[in-house]
Amino acid sequence: MAVARLVEQLARDNPGWGYQRICGELPSLGHDIGVSTIGRILKRAGVPPAPVRRDRTTWRRFLRAQAATMLACDFFHVDCVLTLQRLYVFFVMEVGSRIDRCARRYNGRRPHRALQRSRRARTGP
């Protein structure tokens, strides 16, 4: 009975593991049972095989889970009609809250320096 609970726990904690992988892990835990026995235990417990059990994470679900820690940044230029200058802008925004963390403007005399400064820019809290 303890082995059956262990097999179920391994299957639920590791949804990508199939019967073979669980069978390979059990000897290191002190149990030696066959693949077909593992299949019967999991079928009796109502645990589907590994491909069905695996939770597929979609790109949308991944981005929503990681949005709080992601930053989006952009480096672009704006041509000012009034002053006839090109301004370079470095913009950083939190993806989850959509709050801007850093927005810096540089004049158009030395764009390579503006890019270098934007690379070194720190986005503190």
Specify the pLDDT at position 38: 92
Q: Distance (Å, rounded) from C-alpha 23 to C-alpha 119?
A: 50
pLDDT digits 0-9 by tens, 68-85: 888 888 888 888 888 888
Average pLDDT over residues 88-93: 84
Q: Is 84 left (phi over 0), alpha (psi -120 to 50) or beta?
A: left
Q: Please give the helix or strand (H or E) that residue 38 lies within, else none.
A: helix 35-45
Average pLDDT over residues 78-98: 85
Average pLDDT over residues 6-25: 88
pTM of the model: 0.43
Specify the pLDDT at position 6: 92
**Would you say residue 125 has pLDDT above 70?**
no
Average pLDDT over residues 87-115: 77
Q: 8, 42 in Cβ contact below 8 A? A: yes
Specify the pLDDT at position 53: 61
Specify the pLDDT at position 114: 66
Specify the pLDDT at position 34: 92
**Would you say residue 56 has pLDDT above 60?**
yes
